[in-house]
Amino acid sequence: MQVFRKLLLPFSLLYSIIIMLRNFFYDKGILNSTRYNFPVICVGNLSVGGTGKTPMTEFLISFLKDKYKLAVLSRGYKRKSKGFILADDHTTAEEIGDEPFQYFNKFKNIHVAVDANRHNGIYELKKLVNPDIIILDDAFQHRKVVAGFNILLTVYNDLYVDDFILPAGNLRDNIRQAKRADVIIVTKCPADFNEEGRKRILNKIKPKAHQKIFFSSIAYSDIISGSQGDIKIEKIKGEHFNLVTGIAKPAPLVNYLKQKGLDFTHYSYPDHHNFSVQEIEKLKKMKLIITTEKDYVRIANSIENMYYLGIKPEFLFNEEENFKKVISSFLNRY
């Protein structure tokens, strides 16, 4: 832990007490939670940002969208609107946030909505479109609603069991709340991750008897995509480009591109960064830009020379089918 963050430990203690009391009130029924008689799947984490919620949510969408009437509900972080919004053909990323807009833009025949009040968002979705399944994007800490199935994500080299409560650490909830997860997925494992590493993490996390634990890595596309078409990533070898990221943890992407032997300059912005007019003008002058899909959907309309590199989670130890069976088993209860 950095020296400065150690100085914040007293504030973390205070925040931890507040969080513990809040969870105690929910556990004892002093504060009310709502359960649902239809499938609600939550994808979340205990820390702030960068655990891979977006690609995991997309994995679930891809798996379920052809079998069920599917809706995704998100808070819509940093959107320039309030209340409940159901995305339609006129919706913009500014209205619903970059990740929900990415889901809506990428997948057809699903419904995407945003609402900071998850209970109200679920109510509105059922009233307006009556989906078979609702996926809650980033709602693990929202105790007002009780998802039927909770997926908790944690990064292999930044496990929640090794972290501290904000502001000294990155946890926004107590690690004991991991007990509410049905599945724990250790994300962003390196290419050389092996059985020894798996056992080491299992010994650290110590999953409960009811919990399944899976391990995944990031699988990058071998093409970059943009409004002008697709380009094999090998085709840009030897050509300098600019990497522009507005995500919490760009290091895996940077390392991947370096391993490919590519020549680039990295411009790193904060997670969910709202690009100013001046920044957009600066980007327009660059010959070639590669970015993340999340950043692309927000600013590509303003910049022609921009492409994104797609990613998806890849389950390790041949356990993708086992993960799907766990999800299917939950859905078969309804």
pLDDT digits (tens, 9 = 90+) for 213-252: 999 999 999 999 998 889 999 999 999 999 999 888 898 8
* Bridge partners, residue 111, by sequence: 71
Domain locations in the chain? 3-218+315-331, 219-311
Are 154 and 188 contacting, i.e. CB atoms less than 8 angstroms apart? no
Which parts of the chain register pLDDT below 70?
Answer: 1-4
Take residue 236 and report the two structure tokens written for it: 């840009």
**CA 140 to CA 175: how far, in whole Å?**
12
* Residue 270: other Cβ atoms inside 10 A: 12
For the annotated binding site for ATP, the residues are 47-54
Q: How far is CA 185 from CA 51, 141, 334, in A?
A: 10, 17, 24
DSSP string, 5-56: HHTTHHHHHHHHHHHHHHHHHHHTTSS--B--SS-EEEEEESBSS-S-HHHH
pLDDT recorded at residue 9:
86
pLDDT digits (tens, 9 = 90+) for 268-318: 998 888 888 899 999 999 999 999 998 998 888 888 889 999 999 999 999
* Bridge partners, residue 290, by sequence: 243, 307
Q: What is the CATH number of domain 219-311?
A: 3.40.50
Packing angle of the helix pair 98-106, 53-64 (nearest 10 deg): 30
Element containing residue 237 per DSSP (H, E): none
**CA 180 to CA 164: how far, in whole Å?**
19
Name the 3-class secondary structure at 125.
helix
Take residue 324 and report the two structure tokens written for it: 């799907």
pLDDT recorded at residue 1:
52
For the annotated binding site, the residues are 47-54
CA geometry: angle 266, 45, 193, nearest 5 deg: 65
Q: Does domain 3-218+315-331 have CATH number 3.40.309.10?
A: no
pLDDT recorded at residue 299:
85
pLDDT recorded at residue 49:
77
* Bridge partners, residue 313, by sequence: 218
pLDDT recorded at residue 8:
82
pLDDT recorded at residue 304:
84
Element containing residue 224 per DSSP (H, E): strand 212-226
Could you give phi then psi for residue 21, rounded to 5 degrees?
A: -65, -45
* Chain center to CA of 212: 19
Nearest Cα to 287, choosing from 241, 245, 243? 241
Take residue 2 and report the two structure tokens written for it: 């950095």
Take residue 325 and report the two structure tokens written for it: 């069976």
pLDDT recorded at residue 2:
65
Q: How far is CA 133 from CA 42, 194, 245, 324, in A?
A: 11, 35, 32, 15
Query: In CATH terms, are 3-218+315-331 and 219-311 the same topology?
Result: yes
pLDDT recorded at residue 27:
93
